[in-house]
Amino acid sequence: MKSKRIGVLLGGTSEEREISLKTGEAIFTALHDRGYDVRKVYVDSDIDAVLRQSPIDVAFLALHGRFGEDGCIQGLLEIMGIPYTGSGVLASALAMDKLKAKEMFRLHNVPTPPYYHLDGKGLAKLEEVHGSFGYPVVVKPRRQGSSIGVGRANDLASLQTAVEDALRFDRHVLVERFIRGREIAVGILDGKALGAIEIAPKRAFYDYTAKYRAGMSEYFFPARLSPARYRNVCTIAERASACLDCSGATRVDVIATEGENEYVLEVNTLPGMTPTSLLPKIAAAAGHDFGDLCEAILRSAIQPAGARSSRSAEMATTTTAVGLGAPSLPS
């Protein structure tokens, strides 16, 4: 793989561009320090032309949000025959669409909080639509990440405000029952859990500020659960990732209640790789440094069916998935 030209795709056009730039810089540095022929590829609306002018052998996706995490860039790379990290087109699209992901969770008996969705037209009759759903609730744009546009509501007035705010980022919003419990993130690599970390935000919930501002959350690894429940959380996370047909590295967000129930919130197909990101924390706590994680993700790159024969032959022996070893589960 070190003889290949690795392009770290970063930036993008979504609201998560700044996070993507940090993720990409960290990945670039880690691979460069390990001797890879790596270059940064800044993603904008002309990315197809950029890739044709500066061809690469493998794309390491450090993108977040729309057009980077939702299957769009994956589709372009499939057409161009460039192997890429992360999940495929369909899995990326499903995971990014919170409504469709929840429908898949329900189809595969993966527990997820009750919800309903609405668009701008539903705002006018919000009280009727909400009905007896109850409070508190969490309001989310249907297709966004990094908790952008996410709000919590405890009554109709705050619900109206939260829905209006979420509609600034998407034409559709998801209203989800707020589940009180421990916030857990499970790191998945090639279908197997690396471990589960518990997040204790110093705010009402794990919002954008709690995620990306240092000191706004505490982290506990392994998550403070009984050994049996810890294994169950990891198993549920693996099932959630599998039912969307994800590959490579994913992060699954789970709520573990005091009543010993677990609920999957969402699956992230291109988890953040910044200094405060959860997947690197999970890998580090399990004994694998950042460089190891980057190399493992790189080795699991997807080989497009339409790749040119020469590239296919070259990559055939280099894109075999290599994990970081068995997860360290509490005994």
Q: Which of 15, 16, 238, 295 is catalytic?
A: 16
| DSSP-H helix ranges across the chain | 17-33, 47-53, 72-80, 89-96, 98-107, 126-130, 156-166, 208-212, 227-243, 278-285, 290-299, 309-315
| 312 tagged catalytic | no
Helix, strand or coil for residue 189? strand
| 272 tagged catalytic | yes
CB 29 within 8 Å of CB 60: no
- Which of 169, 157, 163 lies closest to 138, judged by CA? 163
The dihedral sign for the CA sequence 94, 137, 184, 202: positive
Q: Which of 15, 57, 253, 295 is catalytic?
A: 253
Both structure tokens of 139: 């309001």
CB 38 within 8 Å of CB 28: yes
Q: Which of 272, 295, 300, 311 is catalytic?
A: 272
CA distances in angstroms from 22 to 8, 191, 326, listed in the order given:
12, 26, 29
- Which of 222, 227, 228, 233 lies closest to 256, judged by CA? 233
| 143 tagged catalytic | no
Cβ neighbors of 29 (< 8 A, separation 6 or more) are none
Burial class (CB in 10 A: 0-12, 13-18, 19+), 83: buried
Q: Which of 36, 84, 206, 212 is catalytic?
A: 212
| 154 tagged catalytic | no
Q: Which of 20, 87, 92, 146 is catalytic?
A: 146
Q: Which of 15, 176, 266, 295 is catalytic?
A: 266
| 36 tagged catalytic | no
| 266 tagged catalytic | yes
Both structure tokens of 222: 């392994």
Q: Which of 251, 263, 295, 300 is catalytic?
A: 251
**Backbone φ, ψ for residue 260 (5° rounding):** 65, 40
CB 89 within 8 Å of CB 71: yes
| 207 tagged catalytic | no
Distance between CA 266 and CA 98 in Å, rounded?
Answer: 7
| 212 tagged catalytic | yes
Residues marked active site are found at 16, 146, 212, 251, 253, 266, 268, 272
